[in-house]
Amino acid sequence: MKKKPNKKSPFWTDAKKPKRPRKPKPTFEAPAKKGGKGKKEPESGPSSLPNEREEVRLNRFIAQSGVCSRREADALIAAGKIKVNGKVVTELGMKVLPIRDTVIYNGKSLRAENFVYILYNKPKNVISTTSDPEGRKTVIDSIELATRARVFPVGRLDRNTTGLLLLTNDGKLAKKLTHPSHNIRKLYHVRLHKDVTEEDLGKLRQGIELEDGLAKADKVDFVRDGNPNEVGIEIHIGRNRIVRRMFEALGYSVETLDRVMIAHLTKRKLSRGRWRELTDKEVSFLKMM
C-alpha cells in the first residue's frame, strides 16, 4: 500500500506543478518598428567587453580584477590599501584609465578580467553547448544579446531538462562550482510516470549503485502540495544525466526534470527562456563557498 506524500515536509516549499513546455520566446525582443523588424535589445544593461580607453570607477576596476565586490573594494580604498600609480588613494569615486594607470593591492598589480556571470532559465530542446554541429539551438544562441564576451555553460543540462544554468567566462569559478568536493547543491523538481513510494525515497537517500559508481541524494522528498509522482531532489554530484539515471534504476521514467536552484540562486522572477546577470553580491557569495 502506497503512503501519501508528507504534506508537512519542510524540504520542498516553493514548487509549482510543472507546466507543459512552451516554445521559448525571443529573449528581450523589442516591439517591431513600423516598416521593419524590431531590433532586439536587452531590457537591462548587459556586461560587455571593457574599453581600456575609457575611464572606470576604481571600485569597479578592482571588482573586475576578481579581488572582491565593489562594496568591499570601497572599504579597501577607504582603508588606504589601494595604490594608483605608486600613490595611496582613499578617495571613493576615483576613476582610472586601464591602459594608463597601474593599480596595486597587496603588492600586486591588478588587471581587470571583466568576468561575466549570466543566469539562464533553459527551456526544453536547447543544447547546453557553445555550438552544435547539427545546427540545433544552443544556450549561447539564446543569450547572444547578453554579452559579447566568450562565455560557456557551467556544467550541463541535457536537451530535455529545463531550468537554471550558469554561464560565465570565469574558468576558476566554473571549476569550483562543478567539482563535487565543494558540495555545490543543485535542486531539481522531478515528475515521474507513476507515484513514488516511501521505500524508493529511502533508497535514493541511502544511495543507488550505478554503472559509474554510487549515486546518493543529499535530500529527497515529496513536493509540498504536489502529486505523489512529484518529488524534489537535492544533489551535488555532477555526473552525466545523474538524476534521470537514479530514478530509472528504480524503475521510474522521468516525464519532466527542472533544475530550480544552483547554490543560493533560484528561478525567482526569471521565466523560462529568460536570462539575467548576477549581482556583485551573488558573485561574491559563490566565490566564498
- Check residue 197 and give its pLDDT: 96
Position 52 confidence tier, pLDDT thresholds 50, 70, 90: low
Weakest mean pLDDT among 43-47, 100-104, 207-211: 43-47
Q: What is the DSSP code (8-state) at residue 29?
A: B
At residue 49 the predicted structure's pLDDT band, cuts being 50, 70 and 90, is very low
Residue 232, in any domain of the structure: yes
What SS3 class is residue 203? helix
36, part of any domain: no
Q: In CATH, what number is assigned to the domain containing residue 272?
A: 3.30.70.580
230 and 286 share one domain = no
Place of cell 513600423: 34
Q: How confident is the model at residue 16 (pLDDT cuts 50, 70, 90)?
A: very low
**Residue 101's domain spans which residues?**
56-109
CATH code of the domain containing 69: 3.10.290.10
Q: Does some domain include residue 239?
A: yes
Note whether 217 and 93 are same-domain residues.
Answer: no
Q: How confident is the model at residue 176 (pLDDT cuts 50, 70, 90)?
A: confident
- Note whether 152 and 285 are same-domain residues: yes
Residues 83 and 207 in one domain: no
21 located within any domain: no
Instruction: Please report which confidence band the pLDDT of residue 113 belongs to, taking 50, 70 and 90 as the band edges.
Output: low
The total number of structural domains that make up the chain = 3
Domain end position, chosen among 93, 109, 125: 109
- The whole-number average pLDDT for the span 65-75 is 82
Q: Tens digits of per-residue pLDDT, 136-158? A: 999 999 998 888 778 899 988 99
Q: Where are the alpha helices (DSSP H) in the chain?
A: 58-64, 70-78, 139-142, 171-178, 198-206, 242-249, 280-288
* Residue 92 and residue 98 in contact, taking contact as beta carbons nearer than 8 Å: no
CA separation for the pair 165, 184 (Å, rounded): 13
Q: Is residue 255 part of a domain?
A: yes
* Mean pLDDT value across residues 83-91: 92
- CA 211 vs CA 102, 204, 215, 220, 246: distances in Å: 54, 16, 10, 22, 11
> Residue 145 has what pLDDT?
81
Q: What is the CATH number of the domain that holds 234?
A: 3.30.2350.10
> In this model, does residue 253 exceed pLDDT 90?
yes
- Residue-wise DSSP of 81-111: -EEETTEEE--TT-EE-TTT--EEETTEE--
pLDDT at 23: 42
State pLDDT tens for residues 233-249: 999 988 889 999 999 99
Higher pLDDT, residue 246 or 171: 246
pTM for this prediction: 0.66
As a 3-state breakdown, the chain gives helix, strand, coil percent values, each rounded to 5, of: 20, 25, 55
pLDDT at residue number 233: 97
- For residue 203, is it within any domain? yes
Same domain, 272 and 252: no
pLDDT at 48: 39
**Interval 73-95 mean pLDDT:** 92
Q: Which residue has the higher pLDDT, 59 or 36?
A: 59
Q: Which residues are catalytic?
A: 158
- Whether residue 50 is contained in a domain is answered as no
